[in-house]
Amino acid sequence: MVTPRTLEEALEALAAEQGERPVPYAGGTELMTGRAGPRGPFLFLHRLSELRGITQGRDMLRLGAGLSFSELIESPLCPPLLLEATRRIAAPGVRNLATLGGNICHASPAADSLPPLYLYDAVLVLASRGPRGPRYRRLPIGDFILGPRRTALRAGELLTAVELPRIPAFSRWTYEKVGARKAQAVSKVSFAAAAVLDQEGVIRDFRAAFGAVGPTVIRRRDLEESLRDRRPPGQGDIAGAYGSRLKPIDDQRSTAEYRRTVCLNLLNHFLEALGTGPFTGNHAILR
């Protein structure tokens, strides 16, 4: 067991060439549920102040990777899509322990925080030991998550922060999580979307991301571009193009066909709602 007091000590432990490298342990809610069980030694991160806190800069919002989801919920700086997703994660006891960084590094296609982070163009700050202190590199979240439980994290690296570039003032946004229950359920489908409309109702920015229907979160930037500087399209005009990229599977929670249908319903509902006033999501279309 290793319990560093500074980020530099943590990186030193991760870079050690003698013995087995320790496994980073933040909240442990993902690590302790692994099929094979956790393996030690562990690198406990709860004392690292460098991994905590939320900082608003002029051009970006910086979220510490060690923030618990409860801390995110309590912060007035947490952006709305991420806040809505975080509120739907498990139960309060889990949210008190589970961390943003752990949810990202676990790289589950059904991770609730991921669709909003993809929409916000999140950049991950990765630290490793350098000759004169920590050395940093930055990766867009889409380049970091490679597949289920697979990331671009290198040996000796630690996720320290998540940076969100300037977030537009979205005119409309929604986050939807579809599960067997409203709480304490793994997502069958998750969906985040946001748009900026001008005074004439023309789309100036459009973003959509789907979770739990592919190896990674699905976001189609080419289709987003095709919707910009247009009025909201009618139902079905764009759904087929998105549908070709959805790769859901059959499992114990749901069928692939159900997941695909729900995704396209959610997308169509959001597109229709762009011309009807404020919209923040509604599960009623699924019932």
Domain boundary among 165, 184, 218: 165
Pairing status of strand 172-178 against strand 133-140: unpaired
Do 159 and 179 lie in a common domain?
no
Domain boundary among 165, 189, 219: 165
In the chain, which residues have pLDDT < 50? 36, 277-287
Inside any domain, residue 7: no
pLDDT at res. 285: 34
Do 67 and 127 lie in a common domain?
yes
pLDDT at res. 66: 97
pLDDT at res. 18: 67
- Backbone dihedral angles phi then psi of residue 17, each to the nearest 5 degrees: -90, -15
Q: What's 95's domain CATH number?
A: 3.30.465.10
The answer to whether 241 and 220 are in contact (CB under 8 A) is: yes
Domain boundary among 117, 150, 165: 165
Inside any domain, residue 29: no
Reported as a single tens digit per residue, the pLDDT across 273-283 is 887 644 444 43
Do 142 and 219 lie in a common domain?
no
Inside any domain, residue 43: no
pLDDT at res. 19: 67
Do 141 and 177 lie in a common domain?
no
Q: Can you tell me the distance from the alpha carbon of 143 to that of 216, in angstroms, rounded to the nearest whole number?
A: 10
Host domain of residue 150: 50-165
Amino acid at residue number 160? T
pTM of structure: 0.90
Inside any domain, residue 40: no
State how many domains the chain has: 2
Strands (E), the chain: 23-25, 42-44, 54-56, 60-64, 123-130, 133-140, 145-147, 150-151, 158-165, 172-178, 189-197, 203-211
